[in-house]
Structure 1
Amino acid sequence: MQALVAPQIENGVILARSDDEIATNIRSYTLAMDGEKLIGFCALHIHSPNLAEIRSMIIDETYRGKKIGSTLVDTVCQEGKKLGLHEVLALTYQQLFFERLGFIEIPKESIPEHKIWADCIKCKHFPICNEVSLIKTL
């Protein structure tokens, strides 16, 4: 998992997560595989009984454009719905991708749960955030 996200962490597109943090939250991750090869993943991080966030989404460059990312997002949104969540948030540089999946842009200031911002301090772009906030109602 770390090898797959390393280039995007270096570019500041994905936040770095330690091996311990990934291990602690491993059940939050949904994986995309091609046989034995890990080709992508994302995490569904639950913030409250109503809200979750899609985190650390990555698809191997050679597999992009094959609907793998869309399938991952749909899968975690369906999981959130089964858990009784009402909304799923994405903070991203890939606005059009998420909008095609039914997410709508919201002002960052309107994000309903402030604890989301606890991760921002880890970002190489902090405090100047240029990600787009999007939300989807389940």
Structure 2
Amino acid sequence: MIEYTKAKLSDIIAMQEVVRPEVEKGIILFRSSDEMATNIRSYILAKEGEAIVGFGALHFHADDLAEIRSLVVKEGFRGQGIGKGIIHALLKEGESLGVKTAFTLTYQRAFFESLGFCEIPKEKLPPHKIWADCIKCKHFPVCDEIALIKTI
């Protein structure tokens, strides 16, 4: 059974192991231990027993806008609804904190559309998003990710 829970500082090394294959493929940005620790309150884990099988983060950009980022489900656990469970947990938490809109940059358009997200031009994203995160990506400035947004 999958349990969704908040991440703890002691989870960072295991989280980095889960995401490593996607970082190596250039699908997800590398996050240092320091960066993950600074943002640890943003992460929701999907755990099977004590093993982390996926996670995602809700990063706040304004008083009512948040970004879903760093979403990953471990190979072998995909296709079981775990990613959707993580997104639901993140959106529920965001809503409780006053988030009205959530966006994401992703290669997984159909997945996010199945959750009610709609594509928007990347130019509609907060400008600081590009300079804070995107500039670190090996694909920058030729980005082929899709921006999607959802009102919650």
Q: Distance in 1 between matches of 2:69 and 2:117?
A: 15
Q: Which residue of 1 aligns with 2:101?
A: 87
Aligned residues: 137
RMSD: 0.6
Identity in percent: 55
Cα deviation, residue 133, structure 1: 0.1
Q: Distance in 2 between matches of 1:121 and 1:108?
A: 14
Please tell me whether residue 9 in structure 1 is matched to residue 23 in structure 2.
yes
Q: Which residue of 1 aligns with 2:44?
A: 30
Cα deviation, residue 49, structure 1: 0.5
**SS of residue matched to 2:149:** strand
Deviations 1:55-78 (A, max 9, x none): 100001111011000010011011
Q: Which residue of 2 aligns with 1:71?
A: 85
Task: Give the aligned residue type for 1:70.
Answer: K
1:97 to 83, 97, 111: 111
Q: Distance in 2 between matches of 1:110 and 1:25?
A: 24
Q: Distance in 1 between matches of 2:57 and 2:121?
A: 22
Q: Which runs of 5+ in 1 are unaligned?
A: none
Q: Distance in 2 between matches of 1:21 and 1:132?
A: 24
Cα deviation, residue 86, structure 1: 1.0
Q: Which residue of 1 aligns with 2:149?
A: 135
Q: Distance in 2 between matches of 1:110 and 1:54?
A: 16
Q: Distance in 2 between matches of 1:124 and 1:61?
A: 23
1:125 to 121, 126, 139: 139
Q: Distance in 1 between matches of 2:136 and 2:18?
A: 19
**SS of residue matched to 2:133:** helix
Please tell me whether residue 62 in structure 1 is matched to residue 76 in structure 2.
yes
Please tell me whether residue 116 in structure 1 is matched to residue 129 in structure 2.
yes
Task: Give the aligned residue type for 2:113.
Answer: E
Name the TM-score, length of structure 2 as normaliser: 0.88
Q: Which runs of 5+ in 2 are unaligned?
A: 1-14
